[in-house]
Each structure stands twice: as structure tokens, then as C-alpha cells.
Structure 1
């Protein structure tokens, strides 16, 4: 229950609310005593006052600047109680809707959704049946983890009991779908979170899968063209992660930079907190929505961060079908029946009533069936290569390495409690619950460690060789999806493509921890979403399965920029002339907004356009069928002048940055270039961080320098978008997080090659009923750069940015959570840190008791059963 601060309470400090139930019982007893004292002396004495009940849970929540909660509790159950309550205050709508999603119950409240997206999602989650998996596995979880989950659910439910629906924050104000949860709801949701790199990306693809004889469309079946399958690119789920050791830090101790690039909206946002159970746990950092542990952060003994892994979490299978039997496939020459699953959901109709909808979905022995539909205008011949449709000839299924991962929370909690770097590593070996990320860690002694320990399909050498041969050209469909979507498609009729069981693996068929990429160093390890190969370029990791990622391949511009920042040693370099980072140098480096594409090509581009006034290019109009082209003459002088004065940074006040971005964005293959037309020197695997490089010379046979053609194309795109070529970046790159405001945002994109990445993405499953959605321009002029008629709208990218180091006085650091701590638009913590990020301002991390006590703005103690 809420308590009203007495008049003498300091402003913003809430009084403790201990043993609420006991206080009410005692008051009732006193009232009865007073009433009977005035009666007959012969009356029987009142019954004794009940003995106060010791509450099951008790936690103290102290919020410091920007709403960061520091939660201290007597045990793990109480810690969960405090977290659940504090989290609900910040993000109640998101978690409530996600629990509905995992249960397959959203269409009951929200209707079928555009293109049957919500009803389709419900059918798929019913097929996956994560709640049953959670209920089955919950008794096997460690006792302290069971207590943590039960406490979290109780704390979340307490917030709901104290907050009438009419007082909930927008956008779920008054919603009847915000309901109490339990511990297995949470565990089911955690399994769902673990599917972010696999099944999560195929939800509608599974919903749309039905045999060709089943008829088209219907409630809960996304029709062709209603959705497009796209894998989230590095801009949407990328990250930079650095762990520096004693050879690269000024004080000889470990340092960590966390810079995950993740959505600014929806369930994949991060929530910052400080969690303490005296004698057991003292950890600071950020966790995923509704997951009561720290994912990225530090304790007194180790600090760590993560980046999204480029390895495989699933394999897809092409199943040859038996003639006239669209649900029967061939496996080693024998017929196998798909398994039918009759599933029912409730769907809200437009007039407000609900109807029960039932359909049959299918699985193979690998897993669910799915389709990747052809795009509009795609011919049958092209669809055989560029789509995965359920036809009379083939159907498609997949196997997910994380579908049985019920260890996510045990993994995170073990990391949070680690008392040394070795103990931290032991958690990876023992639990093997990391879902989809690389890890970089450092300790106070200046040691660092890298691993990609994500669940990875354990294919035989024969299967791997056959797949690589198919990618190299032996099978156009397999090659297309490997090159365009980084997906592994295998022949599902052959037993050789089954996953191999091996001792020491967490689950059957995945690679055991003893065989995953790992590296110990005392200088640094890093990752920027390329593979494990160059975690430290001085000691490449080689000889691993291509399911973990690829070796000897071109690196992204961002990977190359990360490596340059870490390895350059010069007076004006990121770490100065001594090559050792101070905390200030670390902060300045990660937000320097230096552009790798510019550092490779800028000077030559400017030299080539100087003195030129006009150039032509062929503009393509894709709105017509078939597409049409016209030759356009463009005045390129203003754009060249803007480039000439550019500081080669992507800061909010940088003029010329928009021109460079659009120029670089005209070239395919630039970000992971091995043969981009802008480069003269191609990729050399013996020089992976230096190549490709050098601006390609002008053609000796054409009428116009290709640099001028591309500059004309860039200028025309900006003109049509209404963006002046001499605009400051911050005038056209912004977040509309606060209604009616445009908060300027610095940072670049993959074509820019900055470390600090921002952009626009749609990698979320929350609806507008659960969280803010940033409006974007109606016309997209350049898909590579994100240029629209509203400029560059930002809702994705750098999220929790932390630069910390171990000192003789414990861990110290500064951070900023770019989208701020709360999802409630009326909260003072809704956009306050977004404004900090806009100004490149950091805030101190408060970790010691003295720091927290001196800065507490709100405090409350809650207890309950």
C-alpha cells in the first residue's frame, strides 16, 4: 500500500512501510480493547492480539539521480520483491504485455492486428508452448533462483495491487490486460528472451506456414505480402565491447567499455539497477526487461559486457515432400509424417466481442514449419532461390539451440555473484546459459577474457563441408540465404545434417563449452559484432566451426574503427602517446564519433570534387512497375564545399556529415567491403584491419568520374528529402521521444564506420499499447542510411554506455542510459538521460554505500508475503 509522507519528511523521501499487515491487526485489537473496557466487569476479556507475522519479503529501494534504484534486501527472494516493485513502476506496461505474448493471449485484448500479426503471434507462441517448458523446468532451478523469481512476481503484483488501472502510466492506462503474474510466467518469458537470435525472428514466418492444400488466409494466418522477413542488422542489435588489461590501462588494472546497440523501444530495452544482498551479492549494471539480474555490469571482482554474436543459433532445413502429400517428407529415402498440432486462441472482433479460432500447425522432427514469402513482383524462378515457400515440392523447418535454454537466469545470477575472473569463467562452463552474446570481461588484477559461448549447432565436419560447398555456389538457394541473411539452410532429408551430441554440452546437439572460442589477454579483447576471429588482432582465433562465425573474411568498418581506437599509439590518438587509457580517454574514445569510411577515403573524395559544379546520374524510380530511370543533372558544388569544411566526425554540430553519409551510402558492399566499387585495394586476409582501402581511380572509359556521380546521387537524395547539404547533423538526426520535441542525437551508421551507432529499427514485438513508438518519415530515400523525408529519426543504437575501471578504492565509472530509466511519459526519468546523451554528458556510477547515502533522492522499505 502507498504511504503519504508526513509533513516533516524530507521532500522526495518516502517513510518506511514495515509490517503493514501487523499494524492493521494491532489497531483493530486496540479498538476492541477500548470498547469492552466500558462494559460490564463480568464480561470475558477480549481475545489476545495475534502475534505479528514476520514478512516473507523485505527490501529497501533507494533511488539516486536519474531514478537509478539501489535495492538492498535480506535474501534473494526479498531482492526479487524489491526489483519487481521498482521495475513495475518504470515499465509495468511492457512486461505485462510480454507475459500475454508468451502465453499467446494478446489477440484476446488487442484483436488480430494488422496483417494478422497479433493473432499469428498468438498461434506461434501456443505452438512453442513456453509456459509448459517453464513449469516443467522450474523445480530443477536452484532454490535461490526459485526464490528470486517468486519474489519478483510478488513485488510486481504488489505494485499492481496498489495502483488502480486508471492510475497506470500511458500507454496502458486503464487497461484490463495488465494482470498479476507468477514465477513460471517469468521463466517462460525468459525462455522467450533467449530466442531473440532465432525463433523470435521467425514468429510470423511460423504463423504463415500452412500446407498448400489448406486454403489461403484466415484469422491468425498472415497473408502473403503482409510481412517481410529480415534479419536485424548490426545497427539494430550490434554492440561494441572492450575489456582492457594491465598492459593498456593507465593504473594497471582492468577497465571495461560497454556500448550495446539495442532498441530504444520495447521489450529489448535495458533497465539499470544496483542489487545487494549483504554477504551474497553486490552487483551494478543493466538487465533485460523483466529479468531480475544484471546482464552487463560489474561487482567488486569482475566487470563484463556483451555484444550480439554473429554465430548461428539455429539451422534451417529444406524438406523434399512426397508427391501429393504436402505434410509428408522424405528422410533418408523413407517417408516421415509431420506432426499436426490443433491450436485455439481467442480473438477480439471489431465490435468488441471475442471469438474462438482454431487452426492446425505442423512440426517436423527438427521443429516448427515456417515460410519466408516471396516479395511482390518476384517470379516463380526467382522465388525458388530467394524465398522459402511451402509448395507441393518442398517445405521448410528449423531447429533452435535456445528453445530448451532454461538456464538464462542461472547464468546471469552466477556471473553477478562471481568472486573472481576464474569463478566467472566457471559459470560459463557449468551453466552454459548465455543465449546470444559474446562476452568481454576484466578483473582488478588487469586480466581480460573473451568468449563466444553462445549455444551453437554442433554439425559434423561432413555437414559443415557440404554447407560451405553449397554456399560457394553448389546450391543457389543455400548461397542466397547465407549471403543475404546469414542463415544456414541444410538438406533436411539427410541424416548427416543432424546436430551431433557430445559430452559436456548443456543440451543435446550443441557445441560444449570446451570447444567454443576463448581468449585470455593482459592488453585487451574486444568485439564489434564480427566473429570471434579478431577478438585480439595480435592473437587471431582460428580453427572453429563456421557455425560460430567466419574466419579470414572482411571486417566491418566499425570493427576496424574499434581496433584502431584500441591499438593506435600517437600523441593525438585515443590513448595518447603512451598507449594506455585513462578513464577520460576511454570515455572520449567510445563517443569520439570518428568515421572509418572518412579516414579511409575522405581526403581523396574532397580533392576529386573540388572545382566541379555539376554532375549527372541515373535516378531509378522503384514506384513504377517495371522501375524506370531518368538522367538527372545535379549541382554538386554546395555539397563539395560542405565536405571540405567537415571535421570528419558525426557530432551534433558537424556540418558535412550528412553529405558524407549519403555519398558513402551509394556504394554497395562498403560496410563489410571485399569488393566495393569505392575501393581500389581489395580485402587481404593477411591485413584484415588495413584492407580494403584507397579511393578507386576515375574510370578511363566513362564520361564522368564515379565519385562525382555518387556525389550527385547523394546531393539529389538530400534535396528530395528536404535536407540542406550544409545542415548540422543534429538538426536532422534526432529522437522524437518527447512529444513535440526533436532531441538532437550524435553518432553514425554502419556506412559511416563510427563506433557509436544510432539508427532506426523495428526489432521489437511490443505493440503501441505497451510502449512508445517513434514516428518515422513516410518516404525512405536511402535504405542504407535511413534518410527519410523527416530526416534521420533515431529509435535504436547506443543504449547503456559505460566506461569503468577498477581502482585501489574499488570499481569506479560513469555511464548514460540513452533512452532513460522509465517508460512512463510523465516520469521525470523518461528522457532526462536522453538529453545527457545528446550533450555527450556522462553521469557518475554510484556504487559505494557512502556515495549512495549521500545522493539518495527517494527511499522506501517494502515488505510483504
Structure 2
């Protein structure tokens, strides 16, 4: 029987994520944080009901939007209070204040970077421009977070921030600062180390900048994802279907948190959001479901400045000298007091310090950011959440134009599917595009940065490379929504972080600016396997004989772990093993017969119990990351623009009289595994481990080169949190990231959702791979990680009857001001 409780005697228990402890009912009380109560004076400004179901999922109900998001923030803080507190310190430029300068002045550099980006004034402009409803949402969210802090003694917070002086109440402008930063995730957010250290030659302060190699992930943010939206022609039910599979970090501020928010007659939204953000980023309501993937387009353009020979703080622009702007900022450093630093700007934006380019006497780099002034981020998300049809959903994109850095795939219960890359993008002329593309071939720096990740470097001395204003975009100089890639279908649309080009391979999208992404270019193995799965092509016949997907079939498809790369090369590799039984590697003779028998018996999947997956992974370690994109060291048949899903393919043959490089690579894999003490017959779950606190859980999934939809891996640099992260020992030379602890996993598939839109409402299943709470004391700290490891989906409880029937249901009423 459901028990109802008023808030506040419960808060210390919920602080560690528990929904199972016994509570006593209270009435009209406000907690002092120690379990006692004190009378609340006057009527509360906010009142919400939080219902926790199995796995700690929070369902929030309230009579108005502000109260609903008050309740959402309160529930979020129960699971992730430390994470948001850490980020608020960052965007307030207070890291050095609480933690000192940091190694190599890292914390102080971060503070000055956020000061240089003028996050505070931009947040104020965001607030001033926000509609009343958005202000209500942000104010309610801030109040809910603050109420949780009032209700929870500092010493009872999770260990990561218990008693910490930097955990403080916040206001709406603090959240607005944070939302400015989130809007910059594909651009300035990742350039902090380059911005905060930029000083002209001759300055007494000369600091190491950000590494040149680190710029390679800026166009993708280092993130991956799969997004599928299926229409009536591809679903057994005839309604739409959406599969969400974002690949994000498993620790830090870029995790996703799951909730269900209801305001009767106004809002009924389920899904996941970024830490500390009201509403839902990926999910569904009664009419529409959607997901996102990180766009491969560029959210900014670099500008190469030719400096005035007489003054390194001025640059040539259309033949005349143009002075930079200097602004001096102060940051507080623990034990030192105030420290000042002068930061420099071109008219495009902040100056950059890129090692080893630096800022010389004649050359410097600056950039312009398409999201630096995006006041509509929260308006965009809330508008999507409240859409009552797919047409209404699209209208939000057209009128708000607040999408910062993602592709969107959506479907409705009528069986319509839709794709758009509405990410903010600079608009330059055809002549400027042609000049930039010519410079890729003729200018070393322009060509190098393009090869590193599609980065765009324009000539900052020539006004013809300025962004162009068409008058109908969110901000001057941006591509308007009407000119962005979008596609409606009744079969399917997809994205796996390649460009918009093959959102549906039967209807390529072409003719858009290359700043949006590449057309008619090689696709990643993951994009190709996504398309093959949805097209129901052998050997990936996921939809059965009828060619349409049931919910169970689409779940099996996204979590099938079937390796496209193995399908393309393994038969030929095994045939060569039959022809040549031994290979010499580094002076050792390796007998390949038993090894190739093991690979021949492998199921060509990266499932938990797959034997042979580790050996094949280490075989691929001999090939570079680009080897899977075109003809080269791995494939013989090159990429064909007229058959992009099925090319390249076929294992390349050795040249006449040459040693077979494929067999050498296999022999090297064997030697490396034996040196590491790894049995060649080890199942994947024995080596591929995800740490959750003191427990390591064997998980399935593959790496990028393996051509698997379900990606997992390790990445140490995707988030900015100062909270504890998952570390790993050094990788063993020559391996695919194998360490003495195996393959350490801290990144990849996060919120995996499959939902079908039916006439009587949505139904679906999901799991949150790293679980709902970041507090190790919580029973929901690793419970869903165990589900993921076993491919056990859980139902999405959206209908009232399903929520009420949950055996672990607990209800709490929260109030506050």
C-alpha cells in the first residue's frame, strides 16, 4: 500500500539515494536537517510530490511549472548535489578561490577563461531575454536545489562534497551562467586552457597553452551517439518508434539523469536531462519521442591573424591595422588574495594560445563562436518538452532556434519520423568556402587543423571571410533554420555522428555548407552498421522476415554488439590462417592454428561471454583509426560515394613477395596478450570492466574501429569536474587500450531507450548504464549498471497505473520558497 510523506524528515535519507527506508508521516513541517521539524511560516511558494519507483526513478507532480521544476531539482540534488555544486564553482570563476592555483595553474586558468568569456554578463543577457515561463522554470529549479541543501546537514551530503565550503545555495543567474557554459560544449567550453593562457609576446606572463593535438575533437566534443527514429513503414505497430543511445561520460557533469515531470494539463514529459538542467533533453511525452546525437559540424571558426609588425596586439584587416581589445579581470586565489590578468580579444572573439603555435610576433589565432550568445537554450528544451504534435515540435526549432550542438531524430504516434541538424552554425559565402578549401591545400596550418578534425581556419585579415547575416536566424551571422539539413520520412532516419548526409541512405541530404559537415565522404563503421540494421540487411537481419521492428526487435538491434569490421575481414583472415600456419613476430614464431580456430568459433559479437572478441580487438590495434574509412592498410576495396553503406570492404592482400601484414598483426596481438598474461580464450566480460565505486562490473560493447552500435570505452578528458573520476593504469604498448586491469570503461552508452508511440500512449524500456545516483551509499549507485551488463531492460513507467503498481513506490511531498 502506498504511503505518503511530507518532505522533510525524509531528506537525510534521500540524500544518499534511498527509497526503501521506513519514514514517519509529518504534516505542515519543514526540516531542520537533523530529522526534527520546525513550523513553516506562511504559505510555501513551491509544492511538489516526488514519487520514486524501482531503480530510484523520480516522478514529479505539481500544479504549476515552477513547483514541478522545484521538485525536479530537489530530486536531482538527492542524487547529484555535488556535481552541480562543482560546476557552479567553475562558472563563477571560483576554483582557485577554493582549491588554489591547481597543477600548472589549471584552476586559475579556468577561472580567467570563464571571466574572459564573460559568462556572468552573458547570463544576465540570457535572463533578460528569457520569456516569463523560462524564468519561472529556472527560479523554481534553483529554489528546489536550495531547499535540498537547507534540508540536509552539510555532513550528510555525499562524501565527495560533505561539509565542503563550496557547496552553497544558488540563484537563477548562477544557473544561467551554467547554461551559457553548456551551450558552449562544442566550442568555447573546450577551449578554456587555450583562452585563459593567451598572452602577447613580450608579456611577463608566459604560460603553456592548450595542445595542438587537443583540437582534434572540438568539432565532435569527443562524444558519440546513435539516434534512430522509425516511421510507420518500419514498425510492426504502425506508430513511430525512437531509439536513444547517447555515448557520454559515466562520471562528471556530462552524465544524464532520469525523471518524469507532470503538470496536469500542461506538461507530461519523461526522459533524461543534463545535470542541473530543468525538463528533459532526450525522451518522450504523450505525442512525440526524440533523441539527439552530437553534430559533426563546426560550432565555431578559427581566424588566423596577420599581426601588425609594429604591434603584436594589433592585426591587419583589409589592409589597415586594427587594435585588439584588452580587458583586465581579477580572480581570488586561496592563500594569495586577488590576482589580475589581462585578456585579449580580436573583433571575432578571444585570443588563443595553442602549443606550439603560441602567439608569435606575426601570427596569432582567434575564433568566433556560434553559441557564445545563445539565450534560448532552456526555451528550446522546454518548448520541445511541451510539444503536442510533431508539427508543434518542429515549430519550436523554427521559432526558437536554440539548439546548440546536436542532431535531432523524432517520431510520433502517427508514424512520421523527422531528422534535423539544427545546430548553431556560422554562415559564410560560397567564395569564402572556396577560399578556405583552397587554403587547406596551400596553407600548412589550415590544412593541419582540417585534417585533425574538420576544423575551419579562415583568413582573419580579409573581411570577405566574415559570417554573413541573412536576417532570419537566431543571431546575426548564423545559418537560419530554414537552410539547415532536415528530412521527414515514413521509414526511418538515423545519425551516428557522421554528418547529416545519410540521415536516410535512400535520400541523401546534399547542397549544404561544409561547416555543417561533410557530404559524399566515407562513413564510420558505426554509421554503416546503423544503416544496415535499420535496412534489415544480412548479416544484420534485425527486423525479421516482415522487415518491420517490434519493440523487442529494435532493442535486440541496438544492443546486438555485432561487429561490422569482423564481418568485412574475418573470413579472409581465417582463410590465410589455413594457408599459412605460422608467422614470425619480433623474433618469435607464433603458431596460428589454435588461434584461428578460436577466431573461427567466435560469434563476431562483443557480448559479455564472447570468446574471441578480445583477440580480434587486439588484432585491429595494429591499424590506425582512419584505416576503417577507405582503402589502405586494412581494406582493399575503397570507399564508393555511390555505395557508401557497403564500402570500403575486403581485407587487403599482401604485395607479391611480401610478408602478410594481416597475419603479422594477428601474431602481434597474440604476443601482446600473452605478455599481458591474458588468456586468448578470455570472454569479453572478464577484461572489459566498469568501476562503480569499489566494484568492477564486466560490460559488453565495442570500440569505434570494431563497427558496433553499442560503444563503450575510456576517455579521461571529456568533462571538467573536480570530483573524483575513474582512472586507469597506463595502456600496454601496442594494444587497444589494454591495461593491467583490463579495459577500463568510463564512457559510452549511457541512457539506452527504446520507445514506441502507440494510439493509447508511449510504451518502452530503457536502462541508465551508470545508474541513477552518484552517491555510493545509495542502492541506486550501481543497480542499473548490473542490468546493462546482463542486457536486462526495465520498463519505462509513464502511465499512472504502472507507477502506482510499482512494488518499490515511495512518495514524498516537498515544499519551499
| TM-score normalised by L of structure 1 | 0.89
* Separation (CA, whole Å) in 2 of partners of 1:328 and 1:178: 42
- CA shift, 1:4, in A, is 6.0
Alpha carbons of structure 1 residues 115 and 780: separation in structure 2 relative to 1, 3 Å: farther
Q: Which 10-residue stretch deviates more, 116-125 or 552-561?
A: 116-125
Alignment check: 8 A CA contact 1:232 1:763 kept: no
Equivalent residue number for residue 689 of structure 2: 734
- Map Cα deviations across residues 393-427 of structure 1 (whole Å, 9 max, x no partner): 20110010001011110000000000000000000
* Separation (CA, whole Å) in 2 of partners of 1:193 and 1:368: 18
Equivalent residue number for residue 664 of structure 2: 709
Equivalent residue number for residue 15 of structure 2: none
RMSD: 2.4
Alignment check: 8 A CA contact 1:15 1:859 kept: no
1:102 aligns with 2:57: no
1:245 aligns with 2:196: no
* Separation (CA, whole Å) in 2 of partners of 1:823 and 1:803: 24
- CA shift, 1:236, in A, is 4.5
1:818 aligns with 2:769: yes
Alignment check: 8 A CA contact 2:249 2:719 kept: no
Alpha carbons of structure 1 residues 225 and 201: separation in structure 2 relative to 1, 3 Å: closer
- Report how many residues are paired: 800
1:332-731 equivalent positions in 2, closer than 5 A: 332-348=318-334, 353-374=335-356, 388-471=357-440, 473-568=441-536, 573-610=541-578, 612-617=580-585, 634-670=590-626, 672-702=628-658, 704-731=659-686
Alignment check: 8 A CA contact 2:87 2:253 kept: yes
Alignment check: 8 A CA contact 2:125 2:375 kept: no
Q: Of the candidates 683, 691, 699, which is equivalent to residue 745 of structure 1?
A: 699
Q: Which runs of 5+ in 2 are unaligned?
A: 1-6, 12-18
Q: Which 10-residue stretch deviates more, 554-563 or 598-607?
A: 598-607
* Separation (CA, whole Å) in 2 of partners of 1:451 and 1:389: 37
* Separation (CA, whole Å) in 1 of partners of 2:737 and 2:46: 48
Equivalent position SS for 2:733: strand
Alignment check: 8 A CA contact 2:193 2:210 kept: no
Q: Which 10-residue stretch deviates more, 691-700 or 513-522?
A: 691-700
- CA shift, 1:795, in A, is 0.2
Equivalent residue number for residue 148 of structure 2: 159
- CA shift, 1:214, in A, is 1.2
- CA shift, 1:230, in A, is 4.6
* Separation (CA, whole Å) in 1 of partners of 2:218 and 2:573: 31
Equivalent position SS for 2:812: strand
* Separation (CA, whole Å) in 1 of partners of 2:533 and 2:788: 21
- CA shift, 1:728, in A, is 1.0
Alignment check: 8 A CA contact 2:231 2:239 kept: yes
* Separation (CA, whole Å) in 1 of partners of 2:52 and 2:545: 41
- Map Cα deviations across residues 38-67 of structure 1 (whole Å, 9 max, x no partner): xxxxxxxxxxxx9x7332111000000000
- Map Cα deviations across residues 531-578 of structure 1 (whole Å, 9 max, x no partner): 000100111111000011011000000000000100025697100011
- CA shift, 1:83, in A, is 1.1
* Separation (CA, whole Å) in 2 of partners of 1:22 and 1:224: 47
1:60-209 equivalent positions in 2, closer than 5 A: 60-209=49-198
Alignment check: 8 A CA contact 2:307 2:361 kept: yes
* Separation (CA, whole Å) in 2 of partners of 1:791 and 1:29: 53
| TM-score normalised by L of structure 2 | 0.94
1:328 aligns with 2:314: yes
Alpha carbons of structure 1 residues 639 and 569: separation in structure 2 relative to 1, 3 Å: closer
Alpha carbons of structure 1 residues 234 and 206: separation in structure 2 relative to 1, 3 Å: closer
Alpha carbons of structure 1 residues 229 and 488: separation in structure 2 relative to 1, 3 Å: closer
- Map Cα deviations across residues 648-696 of structure 1 (whole Å, 9 max, x no partner): 0001111111111121231225465123311111011011111111111
* Separation (CA, whole Å) in 2 of partners of 1:333 and 1:453: 36
Equivalent residue number for residue 284 of structure 1: 270
Q: Which 10-residue stretch deviates more, 125-134 or 270-279?
A: 125-134
Equivalent residue number for residue 256 of structure 2: 270
Alpha carbons of structure 1 residues 147 and 334: separation in structure 2 relative to 1, 3 Å: same
* Separation (CA, whole Å) in 1 of partners of 2:53 and 2:203: 58
Alpha carbons of structure 1 residues 224 and 577: separation in structure 2 relative to 1, 3 Å: closer
Alpha carbons of structure 1 residues 831 and 839: separation in structure 2 relative to 1, 3 Å: same
Q: Which 10-residue stretch deviates more, 662-671 or 853-862?
A: 662-671
Equivalent position SS for 2:201: coil
1:846 aligns with 2:800: no
Equivalent position SS for 1:340: strand
Alignment check: 8 A CA contact 1:557 1:671 kept: no
Alpha carbons of structure 1 residues 268 and 782: separation in structure 2 relative to 1, 3 Å: farther
1:756 aligns with 2:742: no
Alpha carbons of structure 1 residues 634 and 223: separation in structure 2 relative to 1, 3 Å: farther
Alignment check: 8 A CA contact 2:186 2:219 kept: no
Alpha carbons of structure 1 residues 223 and 459: separation in structure 2 relative to 1, 3 Å: closer
- CA shift, 1:715, in A, is 2.3
Alignment check: 8 A CA contact 1:13 1:859 kept: no
Q: Which runs of 5+ in 1 are unaligned?
A: 31-49, 375-387, 619-630
Alignment check: 8 A CA contact 1:500 1:509 kept: yes
* Separation (CA, whole Å) in 2 of partners of 1:456 and 1:395: 23
* Separation (CA, whole Å) in 2 of partners of 1:634 and 1:341: 64
Equivalent residue number for residue 814 of structure 2: 862
- Max Rg structure: 1
Alignment check: 8 A CA contact 1:216 1:223 kept: no
Alignment check: 8 A CA contact 2:533 2:540 kept: no
* Separation (CA, whole Å) in 1 of partners of 2:213 and 2:570: 39
1:258 aligns with 2:244: yes
- CA shift, 1:389, in A, is 2.1
Q: Which 10-residue stretch deviates more, 309-318 or 723-732?
A: 723-732
Alpha carbons of structure 1 residues 227 and 97: separation in structure 2 relative to 1, 3 Å: farther
Alignment check: 8 A CA contact 1:782 1:788 kept: no
